[in-house]
Amino acid sequence: MGIDLTVDLGKIKLQNPILTASGTYGYNVEFDDFVDVKNLGSIVTKAITLNPRLGNEGDRLFETEAGMINRIGLENVGFKKFIECKKVILDDKKIPYILNIAGNSFEEYFELAKLCEENNIKAIEVNVSCPNVKSGCLEFGTNPETLLELTKGIRKNYNGFLIIKLTPNTSDIESLALSAQNGGADCISAINTVKGLGVRLDFINGKFKKTMVQGGLSGKCIKPIALSMIKRIKEVVSIPIIGIGGVSNFKDLLEFFAVGASCVQIGTENFTNPDVTETILKDLKEFMKNNNFKTLEELKGELR
């Protein structure tokens, strides 16, 4: 018998625990030159809103030590074009995917949920944690009562696998996680980016030139925050958790398993090492084979 890497999340089962994070992997085939995306547990699409969005103007990326700050602003093609131009490719290529959705209002989230149900989208990740837009997302994801109401409304309109993506920009991640679970979520993903400010100073002809980018910090530098948040979430909920934040190698994967994550999403590291997902998957298989772990659940049990 071979090694069993499957992850049972309830309504869906993944072939392995390696996923990609929203906003770092495009919609479908952008990474075809680097990896066979069909071999991943799933890809999570760029956030989709009801209508197309151009995103923020000005500087939108800022490189930091061990990470980056982005203020893309949820630029995307909109739901209709996703169905017409992106979903068909995902379906034809049999690429497992989760659709990330975002909205400016309860009504937009509810309409998106209804459309996902009508278009047979099997899994969605609800973005209530992006810090880079003026309305929606984060303002819904930092208040437990608001998040509970939002999750209930989405659940009413959508019967598929429902993931709520939580923000780290809170002092009470436990209450938010419980709101997601009590509202009907099947799973929690955490964390989204951490609010940060990038400052670059250039001294030119006797004068300072200052560039500042305020946005969401991601990458290796936020891993300790992510691990802490996931451990805290695990202590209060019974639904599965997808860990996100600074995963860049096999050791990181084990750390996220150790604190309670069922699987992980890999984000910023894709920009530096486009084949990182396949590398981590290969290292996981080799470790399990060399150390006589037959199933992923057995490995997680030892880690915990």
Active site residues: 130
Euclidean distance between CA atoms 278 and 282, whole angstroms: 6
Cβ neighbours of 154 (radius 10 Å): 26
Burial class (CB in 10 A: 0-12, 13-18, 19+), 112: buried
Q: Is 234 helix (H, G, I), strand (E, B) or coil?
A: helix
Q: 202 Cβ partners below 8 Å, 6+ apart?
A: 208, 209, 211
Q: 30 Cβ partners below 8 Å, 6+ apart?
A: none
Conformational region of residue 187, where left means phi above 0, alpha means psi within -120 to 50, and beta covers everything else: beta
Q: Could you tell me if 265 and 25 are in contact, meaning their C-beta atoms sit under 8 angstroms apart? A: no
Euclidean distance between CA atoms 301 and 304, whole angstroms: 5
